[in-house]
Amino acid sequence: MSFTPVQKVNAYEIIVGQIEQAISDGTYGAGDRLPSERALMTDFGVSRATVREAMRVLQATGVIESRPGDPRGPVITAFSPRVLEKSMAKLAQLDSVSRVELLQFRLLLEGHASLLAATERTDEELAEIARRGEDIADLADQPDVRFGERVNRFHQAIRRASHNQMLEICGNVVGGVMAEMIDRRLTSETDRSSRVRTSARDARALVAAIRDGRAQEAAAISTGNIYRYYADDLSSEETRRLATMMQSYGAQM
């Protein structure tokens, strides 16, 4: 006979649990309204402070949204990736996660996003990708627009065309974090204009590969582009850790 460690559960946790349960078993669905705080406190037999703490947790977890004054009560929200993005961004910014790891992960995501986009994209999505690709070239005349963000928007369109939400969301997070890193570092003006030129050219090649359904090539171009962007800053050990991955995509280092 084994004992299980005692773990007392706070009152508000029970409320959170019950409401999450009610949502997961279909009692409540997205768009439905929860009773008001005052109603919940009689339902659960607790004080309003306790109900409110439960509401805060549900709100922070992205389960509900509430607005003062609305007589209809808090609304159950469809899942929003906001929470996921935040906690993933926290992971990415963790000191223990090295540059190489982040870059590896990014190559992996962008590579497969391009791969899938080449076969799954609709015509509208292709047009959107092409448009954002051309937006990169326009950066030459817009010195105040952030470079990393603009390029990330291009990749974002590709990720969306992959028709894989997990890939899309994770890619958005990692891409966002790294775009910010770029914009923080990119100060030199001449450096910028040269990067704009090569990025615009690379983007066109990638768009063409996706347009023609050349999936493997798209992945190779995509990962190759990203790799070359960071190549100068990498140590030989870091380069080694990327070699196998790049090879698997058939990309040039």
Partner DNA sequence: CCGGGGTTACTGGTCAGGCCAGTAACCGAC
Partner DNA sequence: GTCGGTTACTGGCCTGACCAGTAACCCCGG
Point out which residues bind DNA (CB under 7 A).
10-12, 34, 36-39, 45-50, 52-53, 55, 66-74
Residue 9: both structure tokens together: 């559960």
For DNA, give the closer residue by CB, 66 or 216.
Answer: 66
Q: How far is the CB of 80 from DNA (least distance, A)?
A: 17
Interaction partner, residue 83 (DNA, a copy of itself, none; CB < 5-8 Å by kind): a copy of itself
Interaction partner, residue 38 (a copy of itself, DNA, none; CB < 5-8 Å by kind): DNA
- Cβ distance 62 to 82 under 8 Å? yes
What pairs with residue 65 in β-bridges?
Answer: 75
For a copy of itself, give the closer residue by CB, 164 or 199.
Answer: 164
Q: How far is the CB of 112 from a copy of itself (least distance, A)?
A: 5
Q: How far is the CB of 217 from a copy of itself (least distance, A)?
A: 11
- Cβ distance 135 to 153 under 8 Å? yes
Q: How far is the CB of 90 from DNA (least distance, A)?
A: 23
For DNA, give the closer residue by CB, 48 or 82.
Answer: 48
- Burial code (b: 16+ CB inside 10 Å, e: under 16) for 129-151 equals bbebbebbeebeeeeeebbbebb
For a copy of itself, give the closer residue by CB, 60 or 127.
Answer: 60
For DNA, give the closer residue by CB, 7 or 244.
Answer: 7
- Cβ distance 151 to 118 under 8 Å? no
What pairs with residue 121 in β-bridges?
Answer: none
For binding to a copy of itself (CB under 8 A), which residues are involved?
A: 12, 49, 52-53, 56-57, 59-62, 79, 81, 83-84, 86-88, 90-92, 94, 96-97, 101-102, 104-105, 108, 112, 115-116, 118-120, 163-167, 169-170, 174, 215-216, 219, 241, 244-245, 247-249
CA distance readout (Å), 224 to 122, 158, 219, 228, 233: 24, 16, 8, 6, 15
Q: How far is the CB of 228 from DNA (least distance, A)?
A: 48
| Burial grade of 8 (CB within 10 A; 0-12, 13-18, 19 or more) | exposed
Residues 224 and 100: their CA atoms lie apart, in Å, by 15
Interaction partner, residue 84 (a copy of itself, DNA, none; CB < 5-8 Å by kind): a copy of itself
- Cβ distance 70 to 113 under 8 Å? no
